[in-house]
Structure 1
Amino acid sequence: MTRFINQLKEGENKFKKRSKIIKFGLYLSLLIIFGKVFYLQIIDNEKPLKFARQEEKPLNVAGERGEIRDSDGTPLAVSEPVPSIHINPGDVKDKPYYLKKLSKILNMSKKTLSKKLTSRKQFVYIKRHATFEEAEKIKKLNLTLKKLGYTQLGIQIEQKRVYPEGHMAGQVLGHTSKYDLIGLEGIEKKYDRYLKGEEKTIKIYKDGRGKIITKNITESDKAKKGHNITLTIKSNWQMILEDVLAAQVKKANALNGYGVIMNPKTGEIYAMVSYPFFNPNSYSQENHNYKKNLPIWKTFEPGSVMKSVLVASALNARVIEEHSILDCENGERRIGDHTIHDINKRGKSNITEILVYSSNICASKIADKMPNEVYHNYLTSRFGFGKKTKIDVPGEAKGKVLQPEKWGDIERANIAFGQGIAVSSIQLAQAVSIIANGGNFVEPYLVRSIDSSNGKNIWKRKYTRGNRVLRYETSKKMRRMLRTVVERGAKRARIKGVSVSGKTGTAQKVVNGKYSKNNIVSMIGFLPSENPQLVAVITIDEPKGQNAYGGVWAAPVFRDAMEKIWLNEDNAEKLANNDSIPSFIGIGKREAIRIAETKKMKIRIHGNGFVQRQDPIAGEKYELNDEIRLFLEPGI
């Protein structure tokens, strides 16, 4: 019995020892845990977050895209804030409830919503570019979801590209991609690197349960806004030309129409129109062909408007004089196996009459007086045909001028009256500007300046005098002769109260290598004849009817648009200069004095001949009592 009791006591002692060991172990474990908690909470309080959260794919936040403005600062392309609705589909438990509510609020089909809510992605846009009214309804829904313990929807503010004036200058402006706002066409594409805002990366995390933790974007996180671009386009002039051209194209039942209005001295483009119009606000629904900026993209055989370039070249090369007489052979001339015809049959005519009555026969004879290489040089190296003008918008075509060694007698004759050569409207505007401005080369352009979002100027177009293409006397003679063309020939282009110089053209369209029955018609012109301030080129493609001529369809567009601009704008010469110093480049001493007296500006003349350089340059603001220094040299 005693032995049994001793055994029980021995077992009890062992149990007590074991209990003590276990208790010690428990106390030690608790001590370690408390110590660790104390360390994490007080000493290294960031570490639990590092364990709890996991970094996800970062969110790239784009800065607001800069504005595109017209010459007066009116916005033509802007970025506006819009709400986008998003969620983590994995957090959605009661999908039927979400489908019912969201389909009603966002006006979306349950089928579309179901695909989004069953996505395996952790971040899904339910609706991008929603309305603010819809966003407010989502906020109210979120209050209900919170009470139910359901996952709330996120609202993210994004940028949407908006074109306030709709289709106005749509092909010039181009457009961006819908969501990423990357420039895809026009100015938006050409100057994308200036317009786009600076991109900023925001890190996104999810907690230990996989729930997305979005970081609030602070001022320091916000990306910088892009630069603003100011164009040379005058919105009111653009709208005038758009309205007049569209009405005429519809009246003619033509395929399309396009036009350019340009400053012949500086190269500024005041209006650039393509019809049918293109609205960049709805670019995905627009006809793809309507995106094309026709004045720079489309090339065509210009017809008789090229006789202006021919005569200017021949006068400058001194192979003809203004009063030279040529025989137009009563409307028919044989060249090899080909016969050239004139609509207006005439005999002997002077150069002005050849332009007035648009003689193809005498044009071919003028071309015969110049070696092929000489006239080719005038067309390409001097006037710029067959080359891009380098205008600051994408999509420009360079046209085509046959190499001189490939000119036979008939090829030379065709080129003389505007066939067998392909040009664009912007090239014609450049060439006519050279004739009008005194003979200097000029580059057309659309962008005047680039400024940062805080108004600091980044870049500004500076006027530089181009190389001399024609002698000033040649330009002066051409202005006079082309004025007579309008007064006696292209009468539908006349404008009461201002002198107009110009030339119309009609050419058969080439289809599959052969001339078709359809015409493309044009009008080139400038005003006022004595001191040209505006150049315009108008083209209408395939006007229907028997009288499908430039004088019938293109000339009235020139007249109606330029008349409204010139007369209704209280004299465009004043508006164009607007207290700015005019360009005296290329004009003679007497004419410079007359312009200065008219504008009540002080000038100091150095030398004789024609103005080669001026200080200050054209375009700068004229202050009272300023003196403009003009440096003249003999004509060449």
Structure 2
Amino acid sequence: MTSRRGRGPAAPSPPGGPRRTSGPGQVGRGQGGRGQASSARSGARGAAGPAQGARRVRGGRPPAARRPRTLLRRRIVRRDPIKRLNVGLLLVAFVLSLFAGRLVQLQGIESKGYAEAAVRQRLSRIDLPAVRGSITFAAGQPLAMTVDARVIYADPSLIQQYEAKHKTNIRNKIATTLASMFGLNPATLLQKLTPRSKMDHYRELIHHVEPDKARMVTQMDFTGIGTLQEYRRIYPGGSLAANVAGFVNTQNDGAAGLESSMNKLLKGRSGWQKVEVSEKGQRIPMGEDQQSKPIPGKGLRLTLDQDIQWKAQAAIAQQVKATKAQSGTAIVMDPRTGQVLAMATAPTFDPATYWKWKPGDWGDRAVGDGFEPGSTSKVVTAAAALEVGHVTPDTVFTVPDHVTRLDRTFHDSERHAPESLTFSGVLAKSSNVGTILASEKLTETQLYQYMRAFGYAEETGVGLPGENPGLLKPPNQWWGTDRYPIAFGQGVSVNALQVASVYSTIANHGVRVTPNVIAGTTDDRGNVTPAAKPAQRRVISGTTAAELTKMLEGVTTKEGTAPAAQIPGYRVAGKTGTAQRINPSCGCYQGGGYTSTFVGFAPAEDPQLVVEVVLQKPQNGYYGGEVAAPVFKDIMSFALQSRRVPPSSGRSQKIRISPDQR
């Protein structure tokens, strides 16, 4: 037991801080109730901070209040590292499985499709045009032929890459230079030089460039500009026989004439080549190379004689100009074979620059224009009357200048007193009234059948496009007086080649040979395969054909309507025609003008050639014997000499125009 004044040994400090010491006064108070309560409150706050009720030490500052340290116990979570590793491996395995699956899909299941798509992206197709077959005259002179040419093309993507790399604009320079060389629009070329995509490596700029000019372009060394071989269609004769040959368009397809109707045979079959190119447009060495070789087209060997064609074309063009006619046609045929030796129209065009001419001049008027034949058709009525109408060349008719049938009156071209004419005289003077009188010995059906037999209202078979077959209504559609104008060549429509075929039939002793303009085909080595023989049919007897020939000789005498068609040294048989044209504005003849025609053959005793001349709506004269017969004479004279046809051995047989003529 210690003394009350003394102190015992120091007790250890509690963890919260040093234990407070009490002075002598504190012990006494501490034994009371208040002291104990104060001590208890101090003890209770001791855990939160320093004692609030500590006494200040005498003679010094009160000690700084210190916050007792609080012991924080952290809860330690122990994680299993093996488990975390397994989860990570599972995630990696899942991701790798996705990659593996996609790889199997690309390289296994869908590999073929992707490989083909990649090849297609690298492949560039180049068309290989076939050489178009040539068209030649009968002796082999070229009428239309194909020559070597170049197409200038651009690689728009390569040009764009060059501009981006060098920070320059060369497209304007290329467009301006090429436009000035070839007369093109620079804006159009500039548009073609602008790429549509990154793989736009081929764009055609200019076609049918001559090789010399193409070399000039390549020497300019423009990036992305190159040339490829192609072919160009040329026509060495210019407008010579242009309406027969026709022309080809920018796609190398025939658009008129034989170029159109025989396009498939002439064009052949184009080929192609596929090569792999890099992103820069360069060909990949040892890359895929697919090719289909083109098959050249076959050529056409025509029946046209180049010299006769030239003469016919010059003569008809000159007369169209002299008479101020709307148009003109000249045809030369061999009646024994049906071959067309010349087929000329005016105005015409140049097939090399067809776009500069009127589209109406592209077609062949010899087959495309329909017209009323007028008096040239009277020979068909005469043939039918001689065959079945119990009429002979010497049958006499009393012919007034007009005749009335039912409610219509028909006139001759000139007024005259009634006269006695033989049937030969009726044809020689081209009497409408006399022809009506002779036609009344025929039934309507007989007249119609002979017109059809001569080729009316059907295509000639020549094979030219755009042919107008004409118009001839059957008898059950004839009304009232229709048969009478039909008998002398009005109320019926024909084309020029049909009329030429009628006279060729008479010249060939009554046998019609289908008109033809193609003699055969040629291969790429020039070997000729003859065309099939044209169809033939007998229309009238040889006797009737001989009688008609004698009657037609009377037309070219002084008593006939066409003495201007006479050719010294040769007997000529033929017929004039002066038909009124329909005025489309009123559907009547008034103001429509005339169709003036002369068609004939020579030598009359052994016909070798048939020539027809047609003028539509001439202004300076309009009778066929005045404006068409002289052109016939000019062309026929040249053709006879060109074909070396010997002159007639005897004079023309005398023909009785009237019954009292001896």
> Which TM-score band applies after superposition, normalised by the shorter structure?
0.7 to 0.9
Q: Aligned residue for 2:148?
A: 81
Aligned-partner SS, 1:96 = coil
Q: 2:231 aligns with which of 155, 159, 164?
A: 159
Distance in 2 (alpha carbons) for counterparts of 1:210 and 1:405? 76
Aligned-partner SS, 1:540 = strand
Q: 2:157 aligns with which of 87, 90, 106?
A: 90
Aligned-partner SS, 1:299 = coil
Q: Aligned residue for 1:541?
A: 616
Aligned in 2, Cα 1:264/1:399: closer, same or farther, shift over 3 Å? same
C-alpha displacement at 1:311, in angstroms?
Answer: 0.7
Distance in 1 (alpha carbons) for counterparts of 2:285 and 2:230? 16
Distance in 2 (alpha carbons) for counterparts of 1:449 and 1:526? 26
Q: Aligned residue for 1:140?
A: 219
Distance in 1 (alpha carbons) for counterparts of 2:478 and 2:499? 22
Aligned in 2, Cα 1:215/1:173: closer, same or farther, shift over 3 Å? farther
Q: Aligned residue for 2:283?
A: 213
Q: Aligned residue for 1:473?
A: 543
Q: Aligned residue for 2:575?
A: 503
Aligned-partner SS, 2:455 = coil
Q: Aligned residue for 2:205?
A: 126
Aligned-partner SS, 2:482 = helix
Distance in 2 (alpha carbons) for counterparts of 1:215 and 1:483? 79
Aligned in 2, Cα 1:62/1:132: closer, same or farther, shift over 3 Å? closer
Q: Aligned residue for 2:496?
A: 425
Q: Aligned residue for 2:607?
A: 532
Q: Aligned residue for 1:516?
A: 590
Aligned-partner SS, 2:330 = strand
Aligned in 2, Cα 1:481/1:109: closer, same or farther, shift over 3 Å? closer
Aligned in 2, Cα 1:214/1:171: closer, same or farther, shift over 3 Å? farther
Percent of residue pairs identical: 28
Q: 1:400 aligns with which of 454, 467, 471?
A: 471
C-alpha displacement at 1:309, in angstroms?
Answer: 1.3
Aligned in 2, Cα 1:297/1:52: closer, same or farther, shift over 3 Å? closer
Equivalent residues of 1:99, 1:113 under 8 A apart = no
Equivalent residues of 2:148, 2:211 under 8 A apart = no
Question: Is the counterpart of residue 272 in structure 1 residue 370 in structure 2?
Answer: no
C-alpha displacement at 1:573, in angstroms?
Answer: 6.3
Q: Structure 1: 5+ residue runs without aligned partners?
A: 1-46, 146-150, 575-590, 595-636
Q: How do residues 359-398 of structure 1 correspond to structure 2 at under 5 angstroms?
A: 359-380=431-452, 382-398=453-469
Distance in 2 (alpha carbons) for counterparts of 1:313 and 1:49? 75
Q: Deviations over 1:487-508 (max 9, x none)?
A: 2321111111111100101011
C-alpha displacement at 1:526, in angstroms?
Answer: 0.5
Q: Deviations over 1:86-142 (max 9, x none)?
A: 121111133633432552355155423321221314311232223333322222222
What code does the residue aligned with 2:632 have?
A: F
Q: Aligned residue for 1:632?
A: none
Aligned-partner SS, 1:262 = strand
Aligned in 2, Cα 1:49/1:431: closer, same or farther, shift over 3 Å? closer
Distance in 2 (alpha carbons) for counterparts of 1:509 and 1:520? 6
Aligned-partner SS, 1:538 = strand
Equivalent residues of 2:272, 2:291 under 8 A apart = no
Aligned in 2, Cα 1:75/1:117: closer, same or farther, shift over 3 Å? same
C-alpha displacement at 1:408, in angstroms?
Answer: 4.3
What code does the residue aligned with 1:118 have?
A: T
Equivalent residues of 1:106, 1:134 under 8 A apart = no
Q: Aligned residue for 1:259?
A: 330
Distance in 2 (alpha carbons) for counterparts of 1:309 and 1:80? 48
Q: Aligned residue for 1:104?
A: 177
Q: Aligned residue for 2:639?
A: 565
Q: Aligned residue for 2:74?
A: none
Equivalent residues of 2:304, 2:341 under 8 A apart = yes
Aligned-partner SS, 1:441 = strand
Distance in 1 (alpha carbons) for counterparts of 2:436 and 2:481? 9
Aligned-partner SS, 2:383 = helix
Equivalent residues of 2:134, 2:266 under 8 A apart = yes
Q: Aligned residue for 2:423?
A: 351
C-alpha displacement at 1:475, in angstroms?
Answer: 0.6
Distance in 2 (alpha carbons) for counterparts of 1:112 and 1:495? 60
Question: Is the counterpart of residue 487 in structure 1 residue 561 in structure 2?
Answer: no
Distance in 1 (alpha carbons) for counterparts of 2:115 and 2:545? 83
Equivalent residues of 2:595, 2:615 under 8 A apart = yes
Equivalent residues of 1:344, 1:357 under 8 A apart = no
Q: Aligned residue for 1:336?
A: 406
Q: Aligned residue for 1:25?
A: none
Between structure 1 and structure 2, the one with the greater Rg is 2
* Range with bigger deviation, 547-556 or 95-104: 95-104
The RMSD of aligned alpha carbons is 2.6
Equivalent residues of 2:389, 2:441 under 8 A apart = no
Equivalent residues of 1:533, 1:573 under 8 A apart = no
Equivalent residues of 1:204, 1:215 under 8 A apart = no
What code does the residue aligned with 1:484 have?
A: G
Distance in 2 (alpha carbons) for counterparts of 1:51 and 1:324? 90
Distance in 2 (alpha carbons) for counterparts of 1:48 and 1:265? 67
Equivalent residues of 1:186, 1:394 under 8 A apart = yes
Q: Deviations over 1:138-174 (max 9, x none)?
A: 22222xx5xxxxx342111111111110111111111
Q: Aligned residue for 1:554?
A: 628
Distance in 2 (alpha carbons) for counterparts of 1:463 and 1:511? 37
Q: How do residues 294-305 of structure 1 correspond to structure 2 at under 5 angstroms?
A: 294-305=365-376
What code does the residue aligned with 1:483 have?
A: E
What code does the residue aligned with 1:554 have?
A: A
C-alpha displacement at 1:456, in angstroms?
Answer: 4.1
Aligned in 2, Cα 1:214/1:85: closer, same or farther, shift over 3 Å? farther
C-alpha displacement at 1:57, in angstroms?
Answer: 5.2
Structure 1 length normalisation: TM-score?
Answer: 0.77
Aligned-partner SS, 2:310 = helix
Distance in 1 (alpha carbons) for counterparts of 2:201 and 2:427? 73
| Number of residues of Structure 1 aligned to a counterpart in Structure 2 | 516
Q: 2:531 aligns with which of 447, 451, 460?
A: 460
What code does the residue aligned with 2:391 have?
A: I
Aligned-partner SS, 1:423 = coil
Q: Deviations over 1:273-313 (max 9, x none)?
A: 11101211111221000012111011111111111111111
Distance in 1 (alpha carbons) for counterparts of 2:289 and 2:566? 62
Structure 2 length normalisation: TM-score?
Answer: 0.74
Equivalent residues of 2:565, 2:629 under 8 A apart = yes
Aligned-partner SS, 1:321 = coil
Equivalent residues of 2:254, 2:260 under 8 A apart = yes
What code does the residue aligned with 1:139 have?
A: T
Q: Aligned residue for 1:607?
A: none
Equivalent residues of 2:235, 2:351 under 8 A apart = yes
Distance in 2 (alpha carbons) for counterparts of 1:463 and 1:77? 24
C-alpha displacement at 1:390, in angstroms?
Answer: 1.7
Aligned in 2, Cα 1:137/1:463: closer, same or farther, shift over 3 Å? closer
Q: 1:114 aligns with which of 190, 193, 196?
A: 190
Aligned in 2, Cα 1:367/1:132: closer, same or farther, shift over 3 Å? same
Equivalent residues of 1:53, 1:206 under 8 A apart = no
Q: Aligned residue for 1:286?
A: 357
C-alpha displacement at 1:213, in angstroms?
Answer: 2.6
Equivalent residues of 1:372, 1:405 under 8 A apart = no
Equivalent residues of 2:138, 2:302 under 8 A apart = yes
* Range with bigger deviation, 344-353 or 238-247: 344-353
Distance in 2 (alpha carbons) for counterparts of 1:557 and 1:404? 36
What code does the residue aligned with 2:447 have?
A: Y
Distance in 2 (alpha carbons) for counterparts of 1:255 and 1:502? 24
Q: Structure 2: 5+ residue runs without aligned partners?
A: 1-113, 650-662
Distance in 2 (alpha carbons) for counterparts of 1:344 and 1:357? 13
Distance in 1 (alpha carbons) for counterparts of 2:331 and 2:643? 21
C-alpha displacement at 1:457, in angstroms?
Answer: 4.3
